[in-house]
Amino acid sequence: SVVWQAPDNPGSATVKAICADGKGGVDTGVVSLHCRNWRYDNVEESYDGEVSLPTPGTVEVALDISGSVPELAKVESLWVTAAFDPDSLDGEFFQMRLISPSGHQVLFWDHRNGYLGVDGEYVPGFTNEPVKGTWRLKITREVAGEGAVLDDFILDVDYRW
């Protein structure tokens, strides 16, 4: 195996691997690579359609981010918007989790009552997660209550590759 650390600055780099077979045979390979600075971009994807919230229970909404980002893109920062109708459900308790394509999940809304909505809220904990794939918003309603729907789910991701 070869362990290689990228240089601190962009430019050319050489990787040399020397392999021994344990019987006196040795082989050497050299590869020149061009290393560049990270490139940064942004993608915003939204889920269209209404999703009924169970009373109580859990529902998940999937959002596919695959065609619009480079294959190896990694999250730099991430914001969530989620709009509900009605937007005020007093006395009801909700949890919202965001789940990345790799399965990593972050609880970002927990047991708040009153206004129910997330407007461009920064969600920490996803730096270096892969961007490409299916992201899921998981909403859990812990008690029975008034009928409500998720009207809008937007994921706004700054990424690098």
Q: Is the pLDDT of residue 150 over 90?
A: yes
Q: How many Å apart are CA 155 and CA 44, to the nearest integer?
A: 6
Share of the chain above pLDDT 90, in %: 53
How many CA atoms lie within 13 Å of 128's alpha carbon, on the beta-carbon side?
Answer: 0
Query: Which residues fall within 8 angstroms of residue 37, CB to CB, at 6 or more apart?
Result: 10
Tell me the sheet residues that pair with 29: 17
Parallel, antiparallel or unpaired: strands 94-99 and 133-141: antiparallel
pLDDT, residue 14, reads: 80
Sign of CA dihedral 152, 96, 132, 126: positive
Confidence of residue 26 (pLDDT cuts 50, 70, 90): confident
DSSP 130: B
Q: Could you report the per-residue pLDDT of 47-102, keeping only the tens digit for each?
A: 988 999 998 999 999 999 988 899 999 999 999 999 888 877 766 788 999 999 99
What is the per-residue pLDDT for 92? 73
* The pTM of the whole model exceeds 0.85: no
Q: What are the tokens at 74?
A: 């990694």
pLDDT of 114 higher than 70: no
Q: How far is residue 156 from each of residues 91, 119, 136, measured CA to CA in Å?
A: 30, 11, 13
Q: Are the CB atoms for 113 and 91 separated by under 8 Å?
A: yes
